[in-house]
Amino acid sequence: MARKRVAVLISGRGSNMVALIEAAKDPTYPAEIVLVVSNVSDAKGLERAQAGGIKTIVVDHRRFGRDREAFERALQAELVAHQIEIICLAGFMRLLTPWLVGQWNGRMINIHPALLPAFKGLDTHARALAAGAKQHGATVHFVVPEMDSGPIIVQGAVAIASGDTEATLAARVLEVEHRIYPQALRLVAEGRVNIVDGKCLIDGSPAATIS
Ligand code: GRF
């Protein structure tokens, strides 16, 4: 089966993007990373993508002022021009409108550093510690218009230790992110994920948590 053409959208350092690029180096991996798009011209991840021989594009949202859809139409034009089939958001710090999300229904996935639906939004590690959570982790999910929502594909959990700080917890969760994002993209690219009643079934079964 032809490998799916994937674009990774970033705004920052791009460590999850690198994890996806590394996974896709295996010729048997069902997806290839053909494009990296950033809305920030000095995103560190752009250099890392170029070092890996991946085409990069900057679509600077500031050019479009408050017109989110104009920004998204420019982004969409690039995605279409590159015949993208699946989008991976990887630290892409723009809220997307229902219009763009609707163009990619079931074909756009995101990674979030928490066990959704807990701790949507920012500062997830500090909030998990402040809440006294015993477990924390990361989630890969399909993108829907509501932020950090959408059917969950894969989750990975870590236990919170008594001496954990925001930094130590973030580092452990990031390792989990780098493991589960390539797993989730594989499942989606292989067409093994179905959304039924707003929930993901993988090979027809409820998705398992990977810890
Ligand atoms: C990750 O923690 C990801 O879960 C969140 O933003 C961060 C991006 O990190 N959405 P990186 O750019 O992939 O290193």
Q: Is the CB of 137 under 6 A from ligand 1?
A: no
- Mean pLDDT (whole number) for 47-69: 97
Strands (DSSP E) contained in 44-198 are 55-58, 86-89, 108-112, 135-142, 152-159, 193-196
The residue to which tokens 């982790």 are assigned = 137
Strands (DSSP E) contained in 82-204 are 86-89, 108-112, 135-142, 152-159, 193-196, 199-202
Ligand 1, residue 111: give the atom nearest the CA.
4
pLDDT at position 207 is: 63
The span from the CA of 209 to the CA of 187, in Å, is 14
Ligand 1, residue 170: give the atom nearest the CA.
2
pLDDT band, very low/low/confident/very high, at 206 (cuts 50, 70, 90): confident
The pTM of the full predicted model, rounded to 2 decimals, is: 0.97
The span from the CA of 175 to the CA of 161, in Å, is 16
- Ligand 1 atom 1 nearest Cα: 91
Catalytic (active site) residue 112: yes
Ligand 1, residue 174: give the atom nearest the CA.
2
Residue type at 116?
L
The residue to which tokens 């408050």 are assigned = 66
Question: How far away, in angstroms, is 26 Cα from ligand 1 center?
Answer: 23
Report how far Cα 160 is from the mean position of its chain's Cα atoms: 23
Question: pLDDT (tens digit, 9 = 90+) per residue, 117-142?
Answer: 999 999 999 999 999 999 999 999 99
1 by DSSP, 3-state: which?
Answer: coil
Residue 209 in this model has a pLDDT that exceeds 90: no
Question: How far away, in angstroms, is 91 Cα from ligand 1 center?
Answer: 4
- Of residues 211 and 69, the one with the higher pLDDT is 69
To test the pocket of ligand 1, the residue of 96, 152, 174 to mutate (highest count of ligand atoms within 8 Å of its CB) is 174
pLDDT band, very low/low/confident/very high, at 1 (cuts 50, 70, 90): confident
- Tell me which of 112, 125, 136, 178 is the catalytic residue: 112
Question: How far away, in angstroms, is 52 Cα from ligand 1 center?
Answer: 19
Q: Contact at 8 Å (CB) between 153 and 188?
A: yes
- Ligand 1 atom 6 nearest Cα: 91
pLDDT at position 208 is: 64
- Mean pLDDT (whole number) for 4-18: 98
Question: pLDDT (tens digit, 9 = 90+) per residue, 29-45?
Answer: 999 999 999 999 999 99
